[in-house]
Amino acid sequence: MDNLFRSQTSRSKTLKNEAHSITLADRTIGYTLIRRNRKTVGLRINRDGLTVSVPSQATLSSIERVLHSKAAWVIKNLDAWKEKKIIQPQWCLDSTFWLLGDPYRLALSKSEKLQLVLQDNKTDQIQEITQQIASLTSCQIEKFVMTWYRKQAKAYMSERVALYADKLGVPLPKVRLSSARTRWGSCSSNGTVCLNWRLIQLPLSLVDYVVAHELSHLIEMNHSAAFWNIVESIYPDYRQAQTELKKLAD
């Protein structure tokens, strides 16, 4: 097992609230170490990453043994939070920008124009672009990525709205993009459908569920049994989609 778990934890005289890293199953995992007046080692994973709370006198070797034993749990939950972060992009060069569930990164085209490319594209050109665009500010990155997101959202969502309007046999509604923090979509009494631009970061199946849900309100402006029957008629797996969306909102 030792060859799979090579410790890369940095050593320091002051161990309180320090940044450390360790290799678990060939993955280097960063974590924040916090020493407290406690008796056990506690692991917490949230949007800030892995935090390890330990007794004040715990040795680094004992801490690493705990992390080794919990390697599968750590990796699984870090990956789960990675998925949750797709609706909260960070405006920096090494960020991942999600489109329909796929990871994209900033790059330069052959004509040296800024673009976003799939993160698994391993061409030499993609590997070499970081230095060329390192001077971009967070505001410039945000402006470029948001323009890209809204263009993609308008195109994909218009397509999906047309598809589900046809399935329901309703007139094509007016569609607006929303920046709401707590709602994926809404449908007004005048028939206007609002869809959160952040949806474009999610897998297409979840985009489809929200579109199907909101368009069903064009027939039933409530959440009655009749409404859910309409949703199910055009999106049979709506319960699973609901569960996935709730996980993202937690």
- Is residue 12 one of the residues assigned to a domain? no
The number of folded domains in the chain is 3
Query: 192 and 114 in one domain?
Result: no
- Is residue 93 one of the residues assigned to a domain? yes
pLDDT in tens, 76-110: 878 866 665 556 677 887 778 889 988 888 877 77
pLDDT of residue 19: 86
Query: 114 and 78 in one domain?
Result: no
pLDDT in tens, 188-233: 989 999 999 999 999 999 999 999 999 999 999 999 999 999 999 9
Give CB contacts under 8 A, 24+ apart, made by 189-197: 189/221, 191/218, 193/161, 193/218, 195/153, 195/157, 195/161, 197/149, 197/150, 197/153
Domain that holds residue 193: 145-249
pLDDT of residue 3: 31
What global pTM score does this model have? Answer: 0.63
Query: 123 and 181 in one domain?
Result: no
Query: 202 and 149 in one domain?
Result: yes
